[in-house]
Amino acid sequence: MRCWDPRIEEMPKDELSKLQYRLLKTLIYRMYSFSDFYHVRMKEAGVHPDDIRTLADIRLLPFMYKSDLRDNYPDRIFCASRDELVRYHVSSGTTGKPTVVGYTQKDLDLWTTSLARALTSCGLGRGDVIQVSYGYGLFTGGLGLHYGAERIGATVLPTSVGNTERQIELMQDLKATAIACTPSYLIHLGEAAERMGISIQKDTHLRSAIIGAEPWSETMRTRIYETMGVRAYDIYGTSEISGPMFSECSEQKGIHIWGDIAYPEVIDPKTGEQLEAGEPGELVMTVLQKEALPMIRYRIGDLTRIIDETCACGRTHPRIERISGRVDDMLIIRGINVFPSAVEHAILGISELSGHFMIEVDRKGSLDAMLVRVEVVPEALSDKINDLINIKRKVEHVLKNALNVAVSVELSEPGSLPRFEGKAKRVIDRRVF
């Protein structure tokens, strides 16, 4: 099946906008009337539901933050009474209190529908055996994918996380065709299989992986395909908007955000101003039909850009690019927002460099100075100093174009820059504010 719900997924863009406006308007009236929390927030921002006259007026609405959930722990900003709730999920905060998300039956249905569309768009359906190796429990990944996979008529193998050898045995015996898990678990599983003398490519039926909940890259996608013969699809979501909800389609050119379910915006994280489609910035999500815990202009803190063109798959709903980093990592250099992920992206495209880099920021007089140290691959080294100077200039040029701010570049000896396991700390900011 090509589309789970072609009427919605291929809806003409103008019709989709009208539908989104209607849903937004309904949501805002409901929040203004029933949510003490958001009523106050709208009053403070000087916005009344009547001020929302077009879809673009969404930019008048105040933001919501993760701290709103924490500050109102556990359920003080819920918009449904306790007897309407059918489930809780809880995410453990790395700092302070956890956040609790409640779901009505309709919330669960929408979440499941969203995933049914997503999984169908990855080419999965009846006849597939989907091994759900996300954690089951308070985390949204396991149960979310479980119900999504059942909805499309696939057979679910609910292995949850852990006991990898048994997972591999079951994968073989029950002929799993797809797996849903984190990228790091997929790679771990591949390595474990290899140690057991099992080739995922030759000895199993696994052909697709729906992976997310952690940052990963195109390089990992290629590596997964080459070592396991598995096509990996990016899935996106966070518990505050329900859980994993959206994924790439078979084109693998961005994650479709179902417009009747959520309205994505990308803003400048510093000013809060909405940015044009195609410009990189902070993702802001409004979940249009959530009942128990509606999220309006929720600042997830992830960086991406919106792709507004209709996808080659025929779906009209907007897409977002793979998440390139976190807003917390953003640097402001001479008033310009600079994301380390953009530096990384630019550097990965230069064949003379190894891809490892460090960013150093200093203040020289009243000006910020940004230095990027890059590593030259041995093959690109030369005994001619001019060849090296040309590499340095090329990198400076590429970075200037990518970041819109001049940076100086220094070439480092191959292998000399720090390597990171897990989260990389590539920025040294020595400025004193």
Partner 1 sequence: MQGEFIIKQISVFSENKPGRLAAIAEALEKSSVNIFAFSIAEANSFGVVRALVDKPDIARSVLEKLGFAVQFTDVIAVRMKDEPGGLYETAKILGEAGINIEYAYAYSGKEAAVLILRVSQAGEAIARISAAGGSLLRESDLG
Binding site for partner 1 (CB under 8 A): 376, 378, 381-385, 388-389, 392, 410-416
83 binds, among partner 1, Zn ion, none (CB under 5 to 8 A by kind): none
CB of 346 to Zn ion, least distance (A): 26
Q: State which residue, 128 or 248, has the beta carbon closest to Zn ion.
A: 248
In Å, what is the CA distance from 426 to each residue of 48, 172, 329, 358? 44, 41, 10, 5
Q: Is 189 left (phi over 0), alpha (psi -120 to 50) or beta?
A: alpha
- Interface pick for Zn ion out of 31, 311, 323, 331 (rule CB under 5 A): 311
Q: State which residue, 170 or 388, has the beta carbon closest to partner 1.
A: 388
The set of long-range contacts for 66-69, using a CB threshold of 8 Å and a minimum separation of 24, is 66/99, 66/240, 66/299, 66/301, 68/37, 69/99, 69/100, 69/101, 69/240
CB of 414 to partner 1, least distance (A): 5
Q: Measured between alpha carbons, how far is 412 from 414 in angstroms, rounded to an integer?
A: 6
356 binds, among partner 1, Zn ion, none (CB under 5 to 8 A by kind): none
313 binds, among Zn ion, partner 1, none (CB under 5 to 8 A by kind): Zn ion
- Interface pick for Zn ion out of 297, 299, 315, 356 (rule CB under 5 A): 315
What's the number of CA atoms in the CB half-sphere (13 Å) around residue 63?
A: 20
416 binds, among Zn ion, partner 1, none (CB under 5 to 8 A by kind): partner 1
389 binds, among partner 1, Zn ion, none (CB under 5 to 8 A by kind): partner 1
CB of 368 to partner 1, least distance (A): 19
Q: State which residue, 314 or 415, has the beta carbon closest to Zn ion.
A: 314
CB of 372 to partner 1, least distance (A): 12
Q: Measured between alpha carbons, how far is 379 from 393 in angstroms, rounded to an integer?
A: 18
Q: State which residue, 1 or 389, has the beta carbon closest to partner 1.
A: 389
378 binds, among Zn ion, partner 1, none (CB under 5 to 8 A by kind): partner 1
Alpha helices in 270-371 (DSSP H): 340-348
- Residue whose structure tokens are 């395909």: 225
Cβ pair 200, 177 in contact under 8 A: no
DSSP state of 288: T
Q: State which residue, 25 or 392, has the beta carbon closest to partner 1.
A: 392
Enumerate residues 6+ apart whose C-beta is below 8 A from 414.
354, 375, 376, 377, 378, 381
Q: State which residue, 367 or 385, has the beta carbon closest to partner 1.
A: 385
Amino acid identity at 256: H
Site string for Zn ion, 217-256 (x = CB under 5 A): --------------------------------x-x-----
Interface ranges with Zn ion (CB under 5 A): 249, 251, 311, 313, 315
